[in-house]
Amino acid sequence: MPAKAGAPFRAADASKLALGSFQQPLVTKLLSSSAPDFSLISNMRKVYRTVFLAGMATGVADITSAFIIYGLRGSNPVRVLQSVASGWFGMESYEGGLATAAMGLFFHFVIALNVGAAYVAASRKLTFLVKRPLVFGPLYGIVVYAFMNTVVLPLSAFPHAITYTPEVLARGLLVHMSCVGSPTAFMTSYCSKLELQPVSTRSYQ
């Protein structure tokens, strides 16, 4: 009995089938590779939050100590903030009123955020910075004090000569250990306890 004649199977049909078998996994692979890395985004948000909180804690503690210390010596907050701004504007800072005081406050917190960012960045690799803030916070304050006085101030427009008497050194080190390094380290450690994980570069699956 003769077989039924079916529809002719053309070469074009074969090429479509072959192409389709390869397209599906290729499309899936392209879609998966182009998907946003949500784990990386989430981790970076945690890092930015830690930097912000550490910087704010350090900035508030440091400027509060400055207000108290220099207030006891007859100065006022506006004068203290103008002194900070004098690192950029020199002696003219003291003639700018509230405007340069506001700039001084802004510059102060910019520096504080950078102090926090440096510690947080280091803690991503050196985990002992997170585990022992009571030890490494004060030590970091000493590092910041040394950097500010040997690098930042000499390069700035700060118009006053600083004589590093034992009293000046003791006060500066104590303030930086307790009001700069310690807030930075303890806030970084606190945020790490809120499930702050190391930044991952693996794609979100």
pTM of the model: 0.74
Q: What is the pLDDT of residue 162?
A: 86
Tell me the pLDDT tens digit for each residue of 13-64: 545 544 454 445 544 544 454 445 556 667 788 889 999 999 999 999 999 9
Cα distance between residue 148 and residue 142, in whole Å: 10
Q: If pLDDT is split at 50, 70 and 90, which confidence band does 131 have?
A: very high
Which tokens in the block code for residue 194? 């809120």
What is the SS3 string spanning the chain?
CCCCCCCCCCHHHHHHHHHHHHHHHHHHHHHHHHCCCHHHHHHHHHHHHHHHHHHHHHHHHHHHHHHHHHHCCCCCHHHHHHHHHHHHHHHHHHHCHHHHHHHHHHHHHHHHHHHHHHHHHHHCCCCHHHHCHHHHHHHHHHHHHHHHHHHHHHHCCCCCCCCCCHHHHHHHHHHHHHHHHHHHHHHHHHHHCCCCCCCCCCCCC
Say which residue, 179 or 17, is predicted with more confidence: 179
pLDDT attached to residue 18 = 47
**Amino acid making up residue 85:** A
Examine the pLDDT at 200 and tell me if it is beyond 50: no
What pLDDT sits at residue 13? 54
CA dihedral 26, 28, 29, 32 (to 10 degrees): 160
Q: What is the pLDDT of residue 37?
A: 53
pLDDT(75) > 70: yes
Q: Report the mean per-residue pLDDT for the chain.
A: 83
Express as a percent the part of the chain with pLDDT over 90.
66
